[in-house]
């Protein structure tokens, strides 16, 4: 019997919609559990440290903070096939809407001073990781083997990509599956 592939899912700066769509795989998740061991995921494990020797990682979200960047670097160093999972990972999408402000402190002032309830204050440094100057798509920081677009990608598209990767093949998405939003 062939050993199961080691699968991880990672959540960076995003809304977790891609992970919710992953859960929409419904009964296929049972088949997936027979084909792959989920070794790291915000929805399926309590593991806090990214493991070594991961075969496939689905990385959701843009890279918007120092913690996102550190985790992404760990993922890349310990993963064979990195999948940029969803539009935020591919383009920075919604997290990238802060990029025109160009100054992380201006972003915090706007979010907590101008847009929040009266008297709200930006959290202090010990409470939050540092915002990067810009929210970036994953491929601008590390090499990516597979791109999985969608906001979020529908379950059928996620399954098509995972089935191919688990069989050792390069995913071939149909033209109607290669679109954003």
132-165 confidence digits (pLDDT tens): 999 999 999 999 999 999 999 999 999 999 999 9
Residue 124 lies in a domain: no
What pLDDT does 180 receive?
61
CB 82 within 8 A of CB 75: yes
- Is 150 among the domain residues? yes
pLDDT at position 19:
97
Of the chain, the end-to-end C-alpha distance in Å amounts to: 39
Per-residue CA distances from 101 to 88, 97, 107, 176 (Å): 18, 9, 7, 34
Q: Decide if 177 contacts 157 (C-beta within 8 A).
A: yes
Give the CATH number of the domain where residue 39 resides.
3.40.50.700
How far apart, in whole angstroms, are the C-alpha atoms of residue 90 and residue 85?
A: 7
Distance CA(149)–CA(157), nearest Å, equals: 9
Low-confidence ranges of the chain (pLDDT < 50): none
pLDDT of residue 169: 95
57 within some domain: yes
Q: Does 108 fall in a domain?
A: no
- pTM, two decimal places: 0.91
Residue 17: give the domain boundaries: 5-96+132-174
Question: What is the total count of domains within the chain?
Answer: 1
Q: Is residue 127 part of a domain?
A: no
Report if residue 117 sits inside a domain: no
Angle 122-61-111 (CA atoms, 0-180°, nearest 5)?
Answer: 20
Determine, yes or no, domain membership for 72.
yes
* pLDDT number for residue 174: 73
Looking at residue 41, its pLDDT comes to: 95
Is residue 114 included in any domain, yes or no? no
Sign of the CA dihedral with 144 first, then 15, 69, and 7 last? negative
């Amino acid at each position: 019997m062939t050993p199961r592939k080691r699968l991880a899912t990672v959540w960076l700066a995003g809304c977790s919609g891609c992970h919710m769509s992953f859960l929409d795989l419904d009964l296929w998740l049972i088949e997936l559990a027979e084909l792959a061991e989920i070794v790291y995921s915000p929805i399926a494990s309590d593991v806090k440290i990214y493991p070594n020797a991961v075969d496939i990682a689905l990385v959701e979200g843009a890279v918007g903070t120092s913690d996102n960047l550190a985790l992404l670097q760990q993922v890349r160093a310990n993963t064979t096939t990195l999948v940029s999972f969803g539009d935020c990972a591919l383009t920075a999408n919604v997290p990238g809407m802060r990029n025109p402000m160009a100054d992380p402190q201006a972003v915090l002032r706007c979010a907590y001073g101008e847009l929040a309830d009266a008297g709200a204050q930006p959290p202090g440094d010990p409470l939050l990781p540092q915002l990067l100057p810009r929210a970036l798509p994953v491929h601008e920081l590390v090499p990516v083997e597979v791109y999985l677009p969608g906001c979020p990608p529908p379950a059928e598209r996620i399954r098509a990509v995972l089935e191919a990767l688990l069989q050792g093949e390069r995913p071939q998405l149909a033209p109607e599956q290669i679109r954003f939003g």
